[in-house]
Amino acid sequence: MLHKEILSLLNKQIWSENMASYYYLKLSALFSKNGYSGISNFFLRQSNEEREHMLKLFKYITEQCSEPTIPSYNYIEEEMELEFDIIGAFEDSLFHEKEITISINRIISKCIEIGDYRTKNFLTWFVEEQMEEENKFNNLIEELKIISYNKNGLYMFNEKLK
């Protein structure tokens, strides 16, 4: 059974992954509506990845004979209105990924503090994943900054992300 503080932090992480999944799904819809099917598909894949992360945490908690908290989808459905801003969407996404990284690091610190090395080791995968995600978004943002709002460049960027 998980230590109550670790369980609480992991359940908060489930919520964060759920929110990230929802956020990327909203971005996917926004880009689809504006004719950027490649970027829409990219954010749909990101949404699915975040959901997989949530489920990975959920499964780990249940395997430790503890009870996960299932996020309420109704709460977040009412909350987000997004403006169409290509670079802004990627910069906001990077910000969200960095927040997830901070959260994972916080859980790992608590694991070390209380001696829960099993959970710490489980979270190592998330540390690697977050490093990849942040690098991916940094690279895409740099590419978008080079492209600026050049139509040919945006077309190629959109095609690349299909």
What's the pLDDT tens digit per position in 107-129? Answer: 999 999 999 999 999 999 999 99
Residues 6+ apart with CB under 8 A from 44: 24, 25, 28
Domains and CATH numbers, the chain: 4-160 (1.20.1260.10)
**Residue type at 149 in one-letter notation:** Y
In a 10 Å sphere around its CB, with 0-12 CB exposed, 13-18 middle and 19+ buried, how is residue 69 labelled? middle
Q: Do 137 and 94 contact (CB within 8 A), yes or no?
A: yes
Sort residue 85 into left (φ over 0), alpha (ψ -120 to 50) or beta: beta
What 3 state SS string does the chain have?
CCCHHHHHHHHHHHHHHHHHHHHHHHHHHHHHHCCCHHHHHHHHHHHHHHHHHHHHHHHHHHHCCCCCCCCCHHHHHCCCCCCCCHHHHHHHHHHHHHHHHHHHHHHHHHHHHHCCHHHHHHHHHHHHHHHHHHHHHHHHHHHHHHHCCCHHHHHHHHHHCC
Among residues of the chain, what percentage have pLDDT more than 70? 95
Instruction: Over range 88-103, report the average pLDDT.
Output: 98
Report the predicted TM-score, pTM, of the whole model to 2 decimal places. 0.93
pLDDT in tens, 28-84: 999 999 999 999 999 999 999 999 999 999 999 999 999 999 877 645 555 567 889
CA distance 17 to 151: 33
Using CA of residue 87, residue 93, residue 95, residue 101, what is the dihedral sign?
Answer: negative
